[in-house]
Structure 1
Amino acid sequence: MEKLLSQEIELEILKNITNAKNQKSMAEEIGYSVGKINYILKGLIEKGLIKSEKFLNTNNKVQYKYLLTEDGIKDKIDITEKFIKRKKEEYEQLQSEMNYYTELYSYAKNKEYK
């Protein structure tokens, strides 16, 4: 379960990496602390999935820009496919449960009125 959560966070970061102005805005967008975002970004850099480049912003402050690497794009596709597969399986399981309880309710309701 922890691995799934980690992959979901990675996917969120990979989805937001090019639009985020900084780690703080990314953290706010995704809903995790800046420290957690920083930790995961470092891991993604070590894996070679993203790279960071320094630049000076309009206030002459150093900022980092994060870019997906080719491996990062492949990983994003892989994680997305796994995520979609898992969500489809969850949907099918919920649909099955809902059908079961609908039938059970219908049976119980019909039995009450007889």
Structure 2
Amino acid sequence: MASKHPEEVEDLHFRVLKYLQDNPDLSQRELARLLGVSNGKLHYCMRALIEKGLVKLGNFANSKHHLGYAYLLTPKGIARKANMTSQFLKRKMAEYEALHAEIAALQAEVEGQRQTVKRTTH
């Protein structure tokens, strides 16, 4: 079975870009809390996004945290987020369809068991 690690990293990167697009003045600590990851994991993610040229650290006069910095999506980051949104949606739809099929199969199994119980008790 293939590792889910690359998908997990891609999902985290997507979620970070999504939050930052709407809230560029979030601190790493606030963002980590919102995403439910450790500060260290979020820091590592932010460094990767900055190194890839998807996010840049800019000055933001109204920032609510230290020294007025903000994490801004670059044009490349905005384009990548759009692509990631599409890929994320495809992956989640496939997961939904698989889960829906599994639920339908389990419901059919339960109904079959109920019918068997009814036949054997009557």
Normalising by structure 2, we get a TM-score of 0.80
Matched, 1:9 2:30: no
Percent sequence identity over aligned pairs: 33
> CA offset at residue 62 of structure 1?
2.4
Per the alignment, in what secondary structure is the counterpart of residue 107 of structure 1? Answer: helix
Q: Which runs of 5+ in 2 are unaligned?
A: none
**Count of matched residue positions in the alignment of Structure 1 and Structure 2:** 113
> CA offset at residue 76 of structure 1?
0.8
> CA offset at residue 45 of structure 1?
1.1
- Give the Cα separation in 1 of the matches to 2:103 and 2:60: 53
What RMSD over aligned residues (CA atoms) do the two structures have, in Å?
2.2
Paired residues of 1:51 and 1:66 also in contact (CA < 8 A)? yes
- Give the Cα separation in 2 of the matches to 1:23 and 1:49: 16
Matched, 1:33 2:73: no
Per the alignment, in what secondary structure is the counterpart of residue 32 of structure 1? Answer: coil
Partner of 2:75: 70
Per the alignment, in what secondary structure is the counterpart of residue 67 of structure 1? Answer: strand
- Higher share of residues assigned strand: 1
Normalising by structure 1, we get a TM-score of 0.85
